[in-house]
Copies of this chain bind each other. A is one copy, B any other.
């Protein structure tokens, strides 16, 4: 082998990272294999040494991204409400609206995941359910966990569609405020 043992792993990792960013920014279907490889300094044909098809790459991106989202949002081990509220504040943030490439894949790739084949959706379901379970444990409410998750994803989808930063900010503030009230209500209950 003309290349070192770890080289393939490194290349694949670089490709995954670069592709994930691009997919969240411009949409997966809008990316070409050639452009993806050029972005990491390789030719288009080299792509097929790492993935059998473009769809195969998408499955890998989804798994990687959702695993990462779970780490960021659900955390490992026991959590508490305070840490959850800090996560929500980071999630419902203008920086997150303006930089989809650095943020959660659910608002950015949700529609494309929804249109993927069953294998990808089962992967997505796995990680999304893990995140929901993590939140449900903290909140002691299954339905509240689903509701807040949906609201966070929706807030970013809605805000990113808007043209003016002021209204985007108002969407984020509103969701943050209303979630705060839901959390407070669930605490005294």
Contact = CB atoms under 8 A, between A and B. Distances in A.
Interface of A: 26-27, 29-30, 100, 106-115, 118, 121-122, 124-125, 128-129, 142-147, 149-155, 157-158, 160-164, 167, 170-171, 173-175, 177-179, 181-182, 185
B174 A114 contact: no
Given A109-B111, A110-B111, A177-B143, A161 B27 contact: no
A94 to B, nearest CB: 14
Number of copies: 2
A107 B113 CA distance: 12
A121 B162 CA distance: 5
Given A109-B111, A153-B154, A153-B157, 12 more contacts: A27-B29, A27-B115, A106-B161, A107-B110, A108-B111, A114-B157, A124-B161, A124-B162, A143-B177, A146-B175, A147-B175, A154-B154
Contacts of A145: 174
Contact of A170 (B113, B115, B146): B146
Contact of A147 (B118, B142, B178): B178
A144 B185 CA distance: 15
A175 B152 CA distance: 12
